[in-house]
């Protein structure tokens, strides 16, 4: 039976459409027997219609989170929207000159300001209709550019996005550069009905290519943290190798983070 002792894509009330606090998610992770939890709230227009830096304060004080809480290792992350065919990540094109107290800043992007304390990033498409008619080559390039950012550790729920891309090219890049492909429990609840099939095909392709995956819940409420029965059953059915599951243990996942983004401060 596949082991999965980490959940590295979860949300809190900051994401607006989620319902639990950081501590509620941590307690749920402890109750589920997890070794490691990653909070990865949305860095996205879903959070603010204005893009005002004051709407993104959640990301600016994550350093106050303990690294060990209720017996669980806690990592700081963000799920960042891929905005366009150039692989631009949310906030990269928004320059800041003042911070949340309106004190001057060294000029920097909203993206850089908000992700400076993140241990890793998840790059995801949430506005799929904008991309579904792209030529495969353009969609492939989109993912490759987004994944090339030094802190982007994984591509989020690609099986759900429904954007056609050259699977071989993207997985070759992931294997070479240590990026992870997410197997997302929440996606398996989605309509249309072909989404589970896309997820299964992606999992099989990762197994064949030797690409590591992260099995995550994408939990938007604490009672879902650490519970991925559909994703794990699917991986069992295709005989997915345990050694390619980066979330099998805290040690394995921290190793993946270190290889891409560097050592996690405080651990």
Per the listing, tokens 């996690």 go with 264
Element (H, E) at 153: strand 152-155
| pLDDT tens digit sequence for 37-63 | 999 999 999 999 888 999 999 999 999
Q: What pLDDT sits at residue 162?
A: 81
1 found inside a domain = no
Per the listing, tokens 């609840």 go with 189
| pLDDT tens digit sequence for 29-38 | 999 999 999 9
Whole-number percent of the chain with pLDDT over 90: 85
Q: Could you tell me the residue range of the domain that residue 231 belongs to?
A: 6-261
46 found inside a domain = yes
Q: What pLDDT sits at residue 192?
A: 61
Retrieve residue 183's tokens: 């197997």
Q: What pLDDT sits at residue 218?
A: 98
| pLDDT tens digit sequence for 156-194 | 999 988 889 999 999 999 999 999 999 999 999 876 667
| pLDDT tens digit sequence for 200-223 | 999 999 999 999 999 999 999 999
266 found inside a domain = no
Q: What pLDDT sits at residue 191?
A: 62
How many distinct structural domains can be found in the chain? 1
Q: What are phi and psi of 255, to 5 degrees?
A: -65, -40
267 found inside a domain = no
Retrieve residue 233's tokens: 């059953």
DSSP state of 181: E
| pLDDT tens digit sequence for 124-145 | 999 888 888 899 999 999 999 9
149 found inside a domain = yes
210 found inside a domain = yes
Mean pLDDT for the stretch of residues 79-86 = 96
Q: What is the secondary structure of 53-79 as a DSSP string?
A: GGGGGGGGSGGGS-SEETTEEEEEEEE
The segment with the largest mean pLDDT, out of 99-108, 132-141, 219-228, is 219-228
Q: What pLDDT sits at residue 234?
A: 96
CATH number of residue 127's parent domain: 3.20.20.140
Report whether 74 contacts 131 (CB < 8 A). no
123 found inside a domain = yes
72 found inside a domain = yes
Q: What is the secondary structure of 12-40 as a DSSP string?
A: -GGGSS----HHHHHHHHHHTT-SEEEEE
């Amino acid at each position: 039976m596949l082991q999965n002792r980490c959940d590295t894509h979860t949300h809190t009330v900051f994401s607006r459409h989620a319902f639990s606090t950081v501590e509620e998610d941590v307690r749920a992770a402890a109750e589920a027997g997890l070794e490691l939890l990653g909070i990865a709230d949305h860095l996205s227009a879903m959070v603010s219609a204005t893009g005002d830096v004051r709407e993104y304060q959640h990301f600016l004080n994550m350093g106050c989170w303990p690294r060990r809480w209720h017996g669980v290792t806690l990592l700081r992350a963000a799920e960042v929207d891929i905005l366009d065919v150039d692989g631009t990540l949310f906030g990269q094109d928004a320059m800041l000159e003042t911070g949340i107290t309106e004190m001057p800043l060294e000029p920097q992007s909203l993206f850089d300001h908000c992700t400076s304390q993140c241990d890793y990033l998840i790059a995801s498409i949430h506005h799929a209709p904008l991309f579904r008619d792209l030529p495969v080559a353009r969609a492939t390039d989109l993912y490759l550019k987004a994944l090339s950012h030094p802190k982007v550790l994984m591509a989020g729920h690609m099986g759900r996005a429904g954007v056609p891309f050259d699977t071989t090219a993207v997985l070759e890049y992931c294997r070479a550069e240590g990026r992870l492909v997410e197997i997302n429990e929440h996606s398996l609840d989605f309509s249309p009905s072909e989404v589970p099939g896309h997820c299964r095909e992606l999992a099989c392709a990762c197994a064949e290519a030797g690409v590591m995956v992260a099995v995550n819940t994408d939990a938007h409420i604490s009672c879902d943290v650490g519970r991925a029965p559909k994703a794990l059953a699917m991986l069992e059915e295709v005989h997915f190798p345990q050694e390619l599951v980066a979330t099998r243990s805290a040690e394995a996942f921290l190793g993946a983070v270190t290889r891409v983004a560097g050592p996690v401060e405080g651990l």
